[in-house]
């Protein structure tokens, strides 16, 4: 794979959906119009239902010191089905060799050096909910190793908002224009698969 970034990012928003098995896509991300090979896509989702028990996502890709993969969540305030920078509230991902979790509204970013240095990266985020929607345990892992300890110890309110209704995935790197995504409604929730 070398310097070529091959992206296989998975974002999982867990809950119980009645119409499991529905599939949207695959949708091609298309060719980049930018020098840094940036491509992005938006997908609508529900951040909360009474039957949702967790908010989870996973990024699995080849990380390099020069590429970037991020998932942003927020509210589509103007209804154009595009999550603009002004509408973002949380952004999580990889930026030039480091993991990050960003509170976009307050312009604060937490960063961690990855455990693995061989290029293959795996990031998992799982925030559990109580029956009333209150935050339960938070588990953030770099591969199989816990990370972002301060967030996990006391999850701040900006990590999830019931009003979020749009997600945008952005990737920058060589050959990322070949990526596509599929959205599936499953028994366990809505699964966003990026390849």
In 3D, which of 8, 12, 49 has the Cα closest to residue 192?
A: 12
Tokens 């455990």 belong to which residue? 115
In 3D, which of 159, 149, 140 has the Cα closest to residue 59?
A: 140
**CA distances (Å), origin 77, targets 27, 64, 103:** 24, 34, 18
CA-CA distance, 158 to 168, in Å (whole number)? 17
Mean pLDDT of 58-68: 81
The span from the first CA to the last CA of the chain, in angstroms, equals 14
pLDDT per residue over 161-175, tens digit each? Answer: 889 888 888 888 764
Helix (H, G, I), strand (E, B) or coil at 102: strand
Better-scored residue on pLDDT, 109 or 174:
109
Omega cis (within 30) before 26: yes
Share of the chain above pLDDT 70, in %: 68
pTM above 0.75, yes or no: yes
Task: Give the list of residues 6+ apart from residue 50 with CB closer than 8 angstroms, or none.
Answer: none
Q: Which CATH architecture has domain 9-194?
A: Sandwich (2.60)
pLDDT above 90: residue 128? no
What pLDDT is attached to residue 33?
A: 67
Residue 195 contacts residue 179 (beta carbons within 8 Å): yes
Q: Taking the domains of the chain in order of start, what are their residue ranges?
A: 9-194
Which secondary structure element, helix H or strand E, spans residue 26, and what is its range? strand 22-28
Mean residue pLDDT across the chain: 75
CA-CA distance, 28 to 40, in Å (whole number)? 10
């Amino acid at each position: 794979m070398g310097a070529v970034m091959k992206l296989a990012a998975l974002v999982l928003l867990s809950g119980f959906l009645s119409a499991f098995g529905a599939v949207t896509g695959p949708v091609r991300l298309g060719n980049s119009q930018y020098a840094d090979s940036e491509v992005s896509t938006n997908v609508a989702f529900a951040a909360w239902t009474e039957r949702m028990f967790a908010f989870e996502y996973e990024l699995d890709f080849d990380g390099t010191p020069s590429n970037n993969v991020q998932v942003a969540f927020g509210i589509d305030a103007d209804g154009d089905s595009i999550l603009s920078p002004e509408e973002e509230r949380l952004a999580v991902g990889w930026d030039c060799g480091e993991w990050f979790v960003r509170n976009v509204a307050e312009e604060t970013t937490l960063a961690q050096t990855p455990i693995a240095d061989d290029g293959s990266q795996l990031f998992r985020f799982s925030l559990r909910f109580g029956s009333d929607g209150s935050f339960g345990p938070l588990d953030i892992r770099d591969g199989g190793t816990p990370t972002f300890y301060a967030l996990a110890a006391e999850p701040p309110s900006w990590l999830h908002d019931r009003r979020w209704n749009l997600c945008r995935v952005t990737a920058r790197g060589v050959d990322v224009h070949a990526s596509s995504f599929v959205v599936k409604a499953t028994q366990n929730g809505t699964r966003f698969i990026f390849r």
